[in-house]
Amino acid sequence: MAKLPVAALIYDFDKTLSPRDMQEYSFLPGINAEPEEFWAECRRIQLQHGMDSVLAYMLNMVRRARGTRMLTRQSLEGLGQAVEFFPGVESWFGRINAIGLECGVQVEHYIISSGLKEIIGGSRIAKEFKAVFAAGFVYGEDGLAMWPSTAVNYTEKTQHLFRINKGILDMTNDRDLNGFTPEYKRPVPFANMIYIGDGLTDVPCMKMTRSRGGTSITVYANDNYSLGDNMLLQGRCDYCVPADYTEGSPIEQTVSLLLKRIAAVNACSELHARQVDVATKRGGIPEWQLQLNDGNTDLES
């Protein structure tokens, strides 16, 4: 059986799959902090030290946890169980995988988030993802979080699109990520990517995905569609739909059509390759030679 082309669905997490920032479900209640107070404090830390916003919230988590709760890998993973999701999210992956197979593509799911990898890893949907790119901590001998290991801000997110494109999912492998990989050897072409996010922090990934032939979708909660509409009208995304992942929802209909398109484009490419091979074997000029001669005025066009 021929190997199916891969379609990659790439998601932001907070306010894309989950209605609120992940820290607000159990971490902030555990330290008796209100969301507005905590995020305002993170902003003050950021401005005071000229810090990246992700590093600022990670530092604030470590500070606020002292004397209140043990900030360990296990405790953070435990927080993931409290994370809630938009309607239909927990059954979404199985349904989309089945739709993909019906269309003739293998669907893979990825997360690129400024949230915490440990909390995502403890959530009920963690098993659905081939890879999760998110912020994370280094833990000391006592098991407590002591330093950031990774921090994924809105512009840094884009490098992970290339990791998916090249199939280099190991965060420590920068050599192969930055090395040259011919397009035909890349397991997930950008044209086969569908990026799903909720707001301005997703714009760099959305625009890069679109500029390289893929698709971007903005989701919105309740009736807060104005930002998504503006992003659509400004050419920052291709579609704007409610954050409703239930069966038959607009996002399911949209993704289903996109999976069909990916399958059709792949089939057309394979047909073209077969016909080029046949023409070459029948004595025609090989495609590579035509490309070498392109622009030579001594040859007929």
Under CATH, domain 6-21+85-268 is a member of which superfamily?
Answer: HAD superfamily/HAD-like (3.40.50.1000)
DSSP string, 106-117: EEEEEEEEEEEH
Domain ranges of the chain: 6-21+85-268
Tokens of 128: 């659905």
User: Quick one: pLDDT at residue 87?
Assistant: 98
pLDDT band at 297 (very low <50, low <70, confident <90, very high): very low
| Percent of the chain at pLDDT exceeding 70 | 93
Please state the rounded mean pLDDT for residues 211-219: 96
- If 0-12 CB within 10 Å is exposed, 13-18 middle and 19+ buried, where does residue 23 land? buried
Give me the pLDDT at residue 174, please: 87
**pLDDT, tens digit (0-9, with 9 covering 90-100), for 97-156:** 999 999 999 999 999 999 999 999 999 999 999 999 999 999 999 999 999 999 999 888
pLDDT greater at residue 278 or residue 233: 233
Per residue in 68-95, pLDDT (tens digit) is: 888 999 999 999 999 999 999 999 999 9
For the segment 161-178, the average pLDDT, to the nearest whole number, is 90
